Structure 1
Amino acid sequence: MLVSFEGSTLVDWNAYAKARSELGAGFVRILGYFREDGVKSVAQIEGAMRAKSAAQLVIPAHTLKGESRQFGAEPLAALAEQIENIARDCVETRDTPDEALELVVKLRPLFNDTLQLLEREANPLAERRPAAGFGRRPTTFGRAG
């Protein structure tokens, strides 16, 4: 289920295709790293928010931003960038990152929805299964009528 974006806007498919082309055979492996790193980054961001630690928000938000952009996941990258910028400002002003709370709440669902689209596109066979009955032999095949 998509949160507030349609699937066509969660991913810039031109950027995705470019990354797929540039990464070649390593694409699926790198996408797996994005999954692993993204899960960690989202958890670290949530933990930092619970701890009200702006400093602990910066690196995972920055990492998620960059990795998201690599795959054309612009809304996710933009959200991570907003969190990063708020965190950096709060570090400078020695303030708590309360302003980022609403954004952090949106992060996990957006990450999950985006990842689902990226992985589905990386494995088109999962979406292109034969229709029921395709490839079955007719019941009268080879029988004299």
Structure 2
Amino acid sequence: MPHQDTDLVNWSELARTRGELGTAFLRILGYFREDGVKSIAAVEEAFRARNAAALVVPAHTLKGESAQFGAYRLSAMSEEIEMTARRCVETHESPDELIETIVALRPCFTETLALLDRDANPLVARRPVTFGRRVETPTQGFGRAG
């Protein structure tokens, strides 16, 4: 699958978006999550019905929103779905050739959101690393005869 060569997230694009959105970043990321779930469900439903025309709008929406957050792989997959669906509408063909991309769309969305969430959570990014060593505290060993 050619999309595997595309980065899940372009971090410089995400940083640019974060800077532009400022304090609204987390709220807009939440909208992306909600809209993405709806768009993917609509893509899957349209594909099950073999309705190429119904694939176009949710794929187009997901393509644009993904690109905004630097989610390049998800955006590329969505663009392939959109463009192939448009061609299928024009040629009166079934969108069967999209099965692999559509099956991979939801897992890609889930994996992408996990990365975006991890990056958006300052506590996760700043958690101290102890490299497997226990940090001794004054209460350890309390009550032991020395």
CA distance in 1, matches of 2:23, 2:14: 14
Instruction: Say which of 43, 48, 53 aligns to 2:51.
Output: 53
Please list, as runs of the form range in 1=range in 2, the aligned pairs for 1:48-127 lying within 5 A after superposition: 48-127=46-125
Instruction: Give the direction of change, closer, same or farther, for the CA distance of 1:5–1:36 in structure 2 (3 Å limit).
Output: farther
Aligned counterparts of 2:117 and 2:49: Cα–Cα separation in 1: 32
Q: Which residue of 1 aligns with 2:30?
A: 32
**CA positional deviation for 1:126:** 2.7
Task: Check 1:131–1:14 CA distance in 2 against 1; reply closer, same or farther (3 A cut).
Answer: closer
Distance in structure 1 (CA, Å) of the matches to 2:94 and 2:106: 21
Runs (5+) with no aligned partner, structure 1: none
**For the residues of structure 2 that align with 1:36 and 1:86, how far apart are their CA atoms?**
25
> What letter corresponds to residue 74 of structure 1 in structure 2?
Y
Q: Is the aligned partner of 1:138 residue 2:132? A: no
Give 1:101 deviation, angstroms: 1.1
Q: 5+ residue gaps in structure 2?
A: 141-145
Structure 1 CA distance for aligned equivalents of residues 21 and 127 of structure 2: 26
The separation in 2 between residues aligned to 1:111 and 1:128, in whole angstroms, is 25
Give aligned-pair identity as a percent: 59
Distance across 1 between alignment mates of 2:95 and 2:118: 34
Which string of whole-angstrom CA distances, capped at 9 and with x for unpartnered residues, describes residues 68-89 of structure 1? 0000010110000000011000
TM-score normalized by the length of structure 1 = 0.85
Residue type at the aligned position of 2:90: E
Count, aligned residues:
135
